[in-house]
Amino acid sequence: MTKHEQIATDEIMNEYGLESVRAQQLIDAARAMGPALRERSAQCKADSRVPDETVAEFEQAGFFKILQPEQWGGYAMDPQVFYAVGLEVARHCPSSAWILGVIAVHNWQLAVFDDQAAQDVWADDPSVLISSSYAPVGKVKVVDGGFRLSGRWSFSSGSEHCKWAFLGAVVPTPEAPFDMANYRTFLVPISDYDIVHNWDVVGLQGTGSHDIVVDDVFVPEHRTHKSMDGFLCDNPGNAVNDAPLYRMPFMQVFVRAVCTATLGACEGALEAFIEVAKTRRVGPNLMKNDPFARGLATEVKASIEEMKLTMNRNFEAMMTCCRAGEPIPVEDRVRYRYDSAVVADRCLELSGKMLKAAGSGGIREGSELLAFHLDILASQAHVANHSIPFANNMGGMLFGEENADFAV
């Protein structure tokens, strides 16, 4: 890289990265929302829905624009910025952070679809939001100009705030009726699906992750995206959206949406644990003076900071490749995928330790520590937070096998 190219790259990083003025403004805005998010958390859980005012505040603050292309009024910032905002929100309300993550990341995903799809969604209003459910449960029939789609998908977080949905299905061929290599994401307007309100859970209640039902609707070709294009980082949308951000592998961007809320919740749990320790007595002494409690708080804090650093390091390494127009090594992508998936495991272990150490101070009705713990527990239900398959794939590569996962 020449000196002039390096200067240009540095300028781009300063404008779109974590150190930029805009990034700091966004993070400060998320931090300032903390008291209001905590105040609304009970309503959020009771209603199984993040309050409309919270979503409106996210929009006003520009959170949904962070990964959105600039041609649609977005900021097209580095993923590290987006997830730094999510971490701040999750410290106060994991449900709000969860839907922010999985909805706003779709503004990045739409950019890798054929540009006509973005025209369909945003032509009249670039603030329109998209929910998702990627499980490959849809039934697909190939027809002229596109597909007929039917099915029922679970866990569409924040669906009540959205006017479109990304839904997963495998396109059958005569040779392969069900081959995940033929997996696609289908973009469907709200007029073509029903929301079945069935979100009754013990954690992340406010995400409103209801079912989506589609009955034999037409989806044009341009409103579908092939997973293999996402794996190869060569997408139809790159004809228009050619910034390095949109050369990132799809799964590397998306999976952090479902573990960052977990990591932020662990930080919130630590803050709750510290508050319990300030007043709870262990024998004649305050718990905050107990060496075990102090050691545990230190362990949790150090672990949280390590996981943050790992996330930012991995994103920076990938963005460096994308800026240089170079492929991200597959072995690195496999490791980054595991690094993301294991976050929920680690956070659950840490919050469990704090809950046990807090004793009766953690299990009473209304306990913030218990609420954060249950949110972390619920986050493990997402398939992207199941670490064992990704550990198995990475381990196989360490023993000389080829990568067996195209969702990295």
Tell me the C-alpha distance between 351 and 265, whole Å: 9
Q: Are residues 363 and 391 in the same domain?
A: yes
> For residue 120, what are the contacts with CB-CB under 8 A and spacing of at least 6?
187, 189, 223
* pLDDT at residue number 6: 54
Q: Does the residue 80 lie in any domain? A: yes
* pLDDT at residue number 4: 47
The whole domain housing 273 covers: 251-398
Sign of torsion over alpha carbons 219, 120, 83, 85: negative
Kindly state the tokens that stand for 147. 């597909």
Listed residues 199, 234, 269: the one ending a domain: 234
Q: Does the residue 298 lie in any domain? A: yes
**DSSP of 287-303:** GGG-HHHHHHHHHHHHH
CATH number of the domain at 199, please: 2.40.110.10
Residues of the chain with pLDDT under 50: 4, 7
Q: Are residues 200 and 333 in the same domain?
A: no
Q: 134 — phi, psi (to 5°)?
A: -95, -5
Q: Per residue in 242-287, pLDDT tens?
A: 999 999 999 999 999 999 999 999 999 999 999 999 998 877 889 9
Q: Does the residue 389 lie in any domain? A: yes
Q: Are residues 308 and 205 in the same domain?
A: no
Listed residues 79, 100, 123: the one ending a domain: 123
Q: Are residues 115 and 150 in the same domain?
A: no
Q: Does the residue 243 lie in any domain? A: no
* pLDDT at residue number 282: 78
**Can you give the pTM of this predicted structure?**
0.95
CATH number of the domain at 374, please: 1.20.140.10
CB-count exposure of residue 89 (10 Å: 0-12, 13-18, 19+): buried
Q: Does the residue 241 lie in any domain? A: no
Q: Are residues 284 and 343 in the same domain?
A: yes
Domain count, the chain: 3
Q: Are residues 145 and 199 in the same domain?
A: yes
Q: Are residues 261 and 370 in the same domain?
A: yes
Q: Are residues 55 and 14 in the same domain?
A: yes
Kindly state the tokens that stand for 380. 């493990």
Listed residues 73, 96, 123: the one ending a domain: 123
* pLDDT at residue number 365: 87
